[in-house]
Structure 1
Amino acid sequence: MVRSSSLLAVLATASLASATAPSCGLTNKCPSDTPCCSQYGQCGVGAYCLGGCDPRSSFSLDSCTPEPVCKSQTYTFENLDRIAPNTKYLGDASQADWVSSGQPVSYQNNVLLTMAPDSVGTLLASTTYMWYGNVQATFKTSRGQGVVTAFILLSDVKDEIDYEFVGVDLEDAQSNYYFQGIPDYTHSKNISLSDTFNNYHTYEIDWTPDTITWKVDGQVGRTQKRSDTWNATSNQWMYPQTPSRVQLSLWPAGLASNGEGTVDWAGGLVDWNSQDIKNNGYYYATFQSVTISCYNATSAPGTNTGVSYTYNGNTGTNDTVVDGTDKTVLSSFLATGTNMTLGAQSSSGTSSGSTPSTTAETVPGLTGGDPGVDSHASSSADSGSGSTATQSAGSSASSSSSSGGFSQGGSSTGSKSGADKLGVGQDKLKGSVFAGIVALMAMMAL
């Protein structure tokens, strides 16, 4: 998911020559040598085993690194100090609040998620996980056809609760939810509001074991009860119920390489010669703050008394989630959940394995790939079609860079990075923008 500098392109090119990460899903689990199935449906080690790693599709349930438990906190964005690039983050949530992919920029006490021509936008994912609770985000969306701003909760088994904003419609917030990535296209509902590009709004998701409530500026826009999600075919509640990261993103749904359904939903192809591109060199969404309030149940589900969340069963439901004491930090990008110290530096300065490095095979997204759930790729699927939840989720989770889905990752076709364009329009976004770029580039070069 990183397009931040030419350094990443070099790393991706240099890694394992033309090797391509194996794809993975519920019906084709990862092999033992690359045991972790990333959010993008590809197998690897290192960061593949961190946030987004699906234990059900990995070599074993413990291939993925344990997930840091929920932490109640308000996050503001005066600088980028607590945002770690996904080429640096190894699972220590005490050192970073967000993991970035793409080019976040600090501007007037906000963070801009940017999307330049030939890039695929920017994503921030929280380092901790919510197992129910309340999350609020105050921001302005981007605008333009094919341009999508998103504020979502997404679990490693692809439970999902969404706010999505299509840039051609600045008067509606689209709310949605999915159970384990199963594509049911009847769940989306719009919430009307005023100009989302020029006005800050506070978007809120209140999520309990029984109800999801979407609010805008404190007003209830929609409520979804778990009791209304029973699926008799799969014999289960089709309701988001597993620990989830908060994800903030700006991405080009309107790419010609995307599925027709995705492009149509996004209002058409992205205009890379729009006024925002001419003025600033990129599209942008402006995020002011995020507040996470953990659910704080006294007994499961919804606790956060331990160190990390893991899974002890392949169903990926809340009764298989363990709030325990397993560590969350990898020693290097060669490590996995079953060998978390591989590549660690000894006191003598030598490594316990091969030299740790950040390559396209250790950071998901550097070789492209699906962002996880492309919920607009088709209009024909329906959870009531007779297929089981497991079969449907398997087809969703097994997508790869060849799927035609939106790639929230570095292009494998030589596209320019977002950072290549960020000097354009400097008279419009002065001072702190370029300080942010310099700071981020310095971080990436360490």
Structure 2
Amino acid sequence: MAAGKCGTQTCSKNTPCCVSGYCNNDAMYCMPMNCEPENSYSTSSCWNTAHCVKDSVQFSSSSSFAQIADYNGDPSTAAFVSQFQPSNAKLNNGELQLQLVKQSDGTGFGATVINTRAIQYGTVTTVMRSGCLSGGVVSSFIIRNNNVGDEIDFEFVGADKSTVQSNYYWHNQLDYTKMVKSPQVSDTTTNFHTYQIQWTPDQIVWSVNGNAFRTVKRSDTWDSSVNAYKYPDSEAYISYSIWDGGSGAEGTSSWAGGAINWGAGSFLASVKSIDIDCYYKGNDTTYVPPNGSSSSSSSSGDDDQSGDKSDDKSDKSDNSEEGSQSGDDDSSDDSANGSTTNGEDSDSADADSEGLSSVDEQSGDESSGGRSTSKEKSSESSGAGSVIASFGAVFTALIGAYLF
């Protein structure tokens, strides 16, 4: 018996999963971050959420990534999946590569890949290189719950190749004045750097190459007007993306660096590795395979992490600034925290976000590879490469490519 209407239709047993008024049986529709259980064939049609397990993903492994059309719902077969078809993401030369390509209308279509397990608190460390060779190109590394609207992010813009921007959001309340840039590093488009988000119930710490540059404490986010801490605390998904910000609304385009110069080169964001250290112990997860199959499988992993991880040490060397991943960094985050900046009090935050906070809220429906090109769009964050928030635009354009 159907749980509810999926738009104007009722999903069938053969196409049980509902997303934005459409029914199907593949990963695009049935993955838990996309699927709408209350509107699907039954409330159990959507695949179960696979929870965080301690993992070290090298993108030289075939089990590190799958195209979404090939993903069967078992997280042990792919750590990350593409979010769209056609896909501009692939494994190549030991890297996960996300490409932004020019479309016939002159705008860019990018790529988004998402972790197949959800995380609630932990330390996430990645070695990557941005694809922002021109103004207008945006790359990102984020942790986001699209349904709730909580997000923690790193974002790169082509207008500035020597820093990365950090921000966080609570319940889709987008406040760009809280953005804080990292200290300068060597060119983020030609060199691999190590980026880390350390997320606990009490604080968030952003680090680059083992050096913490920003700390936000939960205790500082209290808002008496809503009687709540405006602090990201919901289970969320790690993702990477590259997208065209230059063709977006005026505020977005200005922030991203204006229109893209398509002659600047190949816009390719590259990821070598990601280490995921869960705050809570991971759980075995039974998944629901597509096509109404009654078979099931479980994936498991042991995570010995528990308690406060604020004393964790970075496991990457500063040598990664020049593309090297060898060596250990023995400096603890505690010592680095002595020089971190609370985002709300940073002078650089005010300067770097100038012009963004005064932009009017808009609801543009443009998209570029799963990314809204409207920096002011209230239904998603500037860094969220989510399916749901942009389905209205992207789904219409791509429905022929992946519905049948």
Shorter-normalised TM-score: what interval?
0.5 to 0.7
Query: Which residue matches 1:129?
Result: 118
Aligned-partner residue type, residue 268 of structure 1: G
Note closer, same or farther for the CA distance 1:44–1:187 as it changes in structure 2 (3 Å cut).
farther
SS at match of 2:177: coil
Query: Which residue matches 2:299?
Result: none
Query: Which residue matches 2:283?
Result: 305
Aligned-partner residue type, residue 29 of structure 2: Y
Query: Which residue matches 2:180?
Result: 189
Inter-partner Cα distance in structure 1 for 2:178 and 2:17: 30
Which has the higher mean CA deviation after the structures are superposed, 67-76 or 28-37?
28-37
1:107 equivalent among 92, 100, 119: 92
Query: Which residue matches 1:23?
Result: none
Inter-partner Cα distance in structure 1 for 2:139 and 2:205: 20
Aligned-partner residue type, residue 151 of structure 1: F
**TM score, norm. by length of structure 1:** 0.60
What are the ranges of 5 or more consecutive residues in structure 1 without an aligned counterpart? 1-27, 277-281, 297-302, 308-326, 333-341, 346-366, 382-396, 418-443
1:90 equivalent among 52, 56, 72: 72
Note the 1:165-314 alignment, pairs <5 A: 165-194=156-185, 195-255=187-247, 258-272=248-262, 274-276=263-265, 282-296=266-280, 303-307=281-285
Inter-partner Cα distance in structure 2 for 1:74 and 1:62: 31
Contact 1:181 1:373 in 2 (8 A): no
SS at match of 1:112: strand
- CA drift at 1:73: 1.1
Note the 1:125-164 alignment, pairs <5 A: 125-142=114-131, 143-157=133-147, 158-164=149-155
- CA drift at 1:411: 3.5
Inter-partner Cα distance in structure 1 for 2:35 and 2:251: 26
Note closer, same or farther for the CA distance 1:377–1:368 as it changes in structure 2 (3 Å cut).
closer
- Greater strand proportion: 2
2:30 equivalent among 29, 49, 62: 49
Note the 1:15-30 alignment, pairs <5 A: none
Residues 103-154 of structure 1: per-residue CA shift (max 9 Å, x gap): 2233332222112221511222111111110101101111211111100011
Contact 2:37 2:45 in 1 (8 A): no
Query: Which residue matches 1:376?
Result: 375
Note closer, same or farther for the CA distance 1:140–1:399 as it changes in structure 2 (3 Å cut).
closer
Contact 1:202 1:216 in 2 (8 A): yes
Query: Which residue matches 2:290?
Result: 331
Inter-partner Cα distance in structure 2 for 1:398 and 1:120: 16
Note closer, same or farther for the CA distance 1:115–1:368 as it changes in structure 2 (3 Å cut).
closer
What are the ranges of 5 or more consecutive residues in structure 2 without an aligned counterpart? 296-365, 379-387
Which has the higher mean CA deviation after the structures are superposed, 100-109 or 241-250?
100-109
- CA drift at 1:230: 2.1
- CA drift at 1:252: 1.3
- CA drift at 1:222: 0.6
Note closer, same or farther for the CA distance 1:291–1:80 as it changes in structure 2 (3 Å cut).
same
Inter-partner Cα distance in structure 1 for 2:392 and 2:272: 32
Inter-partner Cα distance in structure 1 for 2:168 and 2:7: 27
Inter-partner Cα distance in structure 1 for 2:182 and 2:235: 25
Note closer, same or farther for the CA distance 1:36–1:369 as it changes in structure 2 (3 Å cut).
farther
- CA drift at 1:287: 1.1
Percent identity (aligned): 30
More contact order relative to length (CA 8 Å, sep ≥ 6): 1
Note closer, same or farther for the CA distance 1:61–1:232 as it changes in structure 2 (3 Å cut).
farther
Contact 1:368 1:411 in 2 (8 A): no
1:65 equivalent among 47, 55, 61: 47
